[in-house]
């Protein structure tokens, strides 16, 4: 990537996880997780970029037991990324 390049990214993920948290919203392991996000990377050099984005995450027990309230989170991200070549 050349410096000055603005590169968009999109992510969609899903998976199974676990936690030692004891919260009513997710009453059973394993937890089901889904995440989606968008972002931009602005390359300062071929290997170095400033990044910004937004991520949305949902965590629940996937209806495998009651209660299944689940919870969502919205997160803004700012960062610096270094790419090894």
pLDDT per position as a tens digit, 35-61: 999 999 999 999 999 999 999 999 887
Q: Which domain holds residue 10?
A: 6-82
The answer to whether residue 60 is domain-embedded is: yes
Q: What is the pTM of this model?
A: 0.71
Percent of the chain whose predicted confidence (pLDDT) is above 70: 87
Kindly report the three-state secondary structure assignment for every residue of 24-51.
CCCCCCCEEEEEEEEEEEEECCCCEEEE
What is the tally of structural domains in the chain? 1
The answer to whether residue 1 is domain-embedded is: no
* Count, residues in the chain: 85
pLDDT interval class at 69 (50, 70, 90): confident
The answer to whether residue 29 is domain-embedded is: yes
> Pairing state of beta strands 48-60 and 6-17?
unpaired
């Amino acid at each position: 990537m050349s410096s000055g390049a603005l590169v968009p990214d999109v992510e969609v993920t899903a998976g199974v996880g676990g936690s030692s948290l004891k919260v009513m919203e997710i009453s059973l392991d394993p937890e089901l997780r889904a995440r989606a996000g968008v972002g931009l990377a602005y390359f300062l050099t071929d290997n170095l970029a400033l990044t910004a984005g937004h991520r949305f995450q949902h965590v629940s027990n996937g209806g495998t037991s009651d209660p299944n309230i689940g919870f969502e989170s919205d997160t803004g991200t700012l960062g610096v990324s270094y790419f090894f070549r």
